[in-house]
Chain A
Amino acid sequence: MSIPADLKYTKEHEWVRIEGDVATFGVSDHAQEALGDIVFVELPEIGRTVDAAEAYAVVESVKAVSDVYAPVAGEIIEVNEALESEPEKVNTEPYGAGWIAKVKMSGNADELMSDDEYATFLEE
């Protein structure tokens, strides 16, 4: 199970990479493993504002439909359109090519877990 140290995590198993006021969202390795083969990703519209913990995307595996929640509040400025044709990138590169959306942050990231905290959370 991979948990990169440069990312922050949520209890819903999303990760976020914060660079200045831009945050990149995705789902954790644990999440993709639990979901199974991802066959469809419904991306948000650019310009939409999302609150922290609001469902902003949907991933569908062979058997299940799951909401993906925003780790922090902000405005969607970019989405990973490659996932429309290659949704499996969420499985194979959850922290890389499997990123889902980028937001211009409007809230803070105080509630998020560090890699160590997330690892502990997963153990519990």
Chain B
Amino acid sequence: MKTPLFNAHVALGGKIVPFAGYELPVQYKHGALKEYTAVREGAAGIFDITHMGQVRVEGVGALDFLQYVTTNDVSKLVDGQVQYSALLNEQGTFIDDITTYRISDQAYYLCINAANRHKDVAHLQKEAANFDVTVTDESDDTTLLALQGAKAQAALQTITDMDLESIGYYKFARGKIGKAGGIISRTGYTGEDGFEIYMPNAIAVSVWDALLEQGAVPIGLAARDMLRTEMGYALYGHEISDAVTPVEAKLMWITKLDKGNFIGQAAVEARKAEGAKKRLIALKLIERGIPREHYKVFVNGIESGEVTSGMHSPMAGGVALAYVMPEHAIEGDVSIEIRGKQVAAERTSLPFVRSNVKK
């Protein structure tokens, strides 16, 4: 599938690859490293993330429904606030990780992962049958752009009436963007200040062009993955999947066990009581090398787990997120096997590089 910006990507020298059913640029003509640098070092990077799905949840039962199907406490949200959350199955493992936008007490908006869209929508619609609520998949009508980096606010302010300064971190506003209505949230996946912009497909090209005119640098999937990995943000299919619960994935902070009954709650409580099967840790190579997904992790010479995301960070060197046996999460000499050789690593805290989000 092509997004409304497909021709714009090709015109900018985008190297198009298949991604979650879409044809998206992995990088543009100057390469992923320059794109990464633009976002980290003061410009504004613009990302076509239209592949992400959007689901509208409306009705008098909306809050009760979302409390039941998501892990975080939706009752804590006020109008115009965004919450990071997850959908679990009865086994307590991840169907997806999502963000929940509260428009009003009876209207919410969920942003979901592209690869999980049909699975999520089917799950939500099935569960919705027991609540006074409607679940509508609006993904095909919506273009989603991210604008990230120090210059994001100034660039975006030129095309909207909304007062961006007044939109706090994980807050959003609805209003005019270009010639149509849309949603702007101060959210992102890069660790820089910035926004995600939801708009009807009809204005996608004009908004994209206007932001490029403001100096925004187009960013492909490769640099996007570098930026998110440096922050240690989980990515579905890597750190989280239907094989792990929030206990393993270090996501108990979005899993509110005391908020009332929700899908997966009992299983997560049980897992918490018995202890995680494995633990997600952050590693930094001491020796030269680049950790990559699925590389084996050894602790005290014992194979303990594997890398879920790894990269060469221009600022931090070889860094990785990895699952290891719970007894190896804190102590023991760690190494990552790279092409048959043990390369020494050390545990580190996240993020791997300093975050500049405006909290």
Contact = CB atoms under 8 A, between A and B. Distances in A.
Interface string A11-43: 000000000000000000000000011011010
A63 B26 contact: yes
B103 interface: no
A39 B312 contact: yes
B199 interface: no
A122 B290 CA distance: 30
B290 A63 contact: no
Contacts of A58: 339
A62 B226 contact: yes
A58 B338 CA distance: 11
Contacts of A51: none
B185 to A, nearest CB: 28
B26 A39 contact: no
B312 A60 contact: yes
B17 to A, nearest CB: 10
Contacts of A63: 26, 32, 222, 225
A42 B292 CA distance: 15
Contacts of B32: 36-37, 62-63
Given A62-B226, A63-B222, A65-B292, A42 B33 contact: no
A40 B27 contact: no
Contacts of B31: 36-37, 62, 91
B15 to A, nearest CB: 8
Contact of A39 (B34, B290, B339): B290
A117 interface: no
Main secondary structure of the interface of B (DSSP, over half): mixed
A62 B288 contact: no
Contacts of A60: 290, 312
Interface in B12-62: 26-27, 31-34
Contacts of B26: 63
Interface residues on B, range: 10 to 19
Interface string B284-317: 0000111010000000000000000001101000
Nearest to A55: B339
Contact of A36 (B222, B290, B292): B222
Contacts of B290: 39-40, 60, 65
B358 to A, nearest CB: 27
A40 B312 contact: yes
Nearest to B338: A42
Contacts of B312: 39-40, 60, 62
A84 interface: yes
A91 B30 CA distance: 12
**Which of A36, A37, A91 counts the most B-chain CB atoms under 10 A from its CB?**
A37
A36 B26 CA distance: 10
B29 to A, nearest CB: 10
B33 A39 contact: yes
A63 B311 CA distance: 8
A37 B33 contact: yes
Contacts of B226: 62
B230 to A, nearest CB: 12
A45 B234 CA distance: 38
Contacts of A40: 288-290, 312
A62 B292 contact: no
B339 A36 contact: no
A71 B222 CA distance: 31
A35 to B, nearest CB: 10
Contact of A84 (B222, B223, B288, B314): B288
Contacts of A65: 290, 292
A79 to B, nearest CB: 14
6 contacts: A37-B34, A40-B288, A58-B339, A62-B27, A62-B222, A62-B312
Interface of A: 36-37, 39-40, 42, 58, 60, 62-63, 65, 84, 88, 91
**The 8 nearest A-B residue pairs measured at CB:** A37-B33, A39-B312, A62-B32, A37-B31, A40-B290, A62-B222, A63-B222, A60-B290
Interface of B: 26-27, 31-34, 222-223, 225-226, 288-290, 292, 311-312, 314, 339
Given A62-B223, A62-B226, 14 more contacts: A36-B32, A36-B222, A37-B32, A39-B290, A39-B312, A40-B289, A42-B289, A58-B339, A62-B31, A62-B33, A63-B222, A65-B290, A88-B33, A91-B31
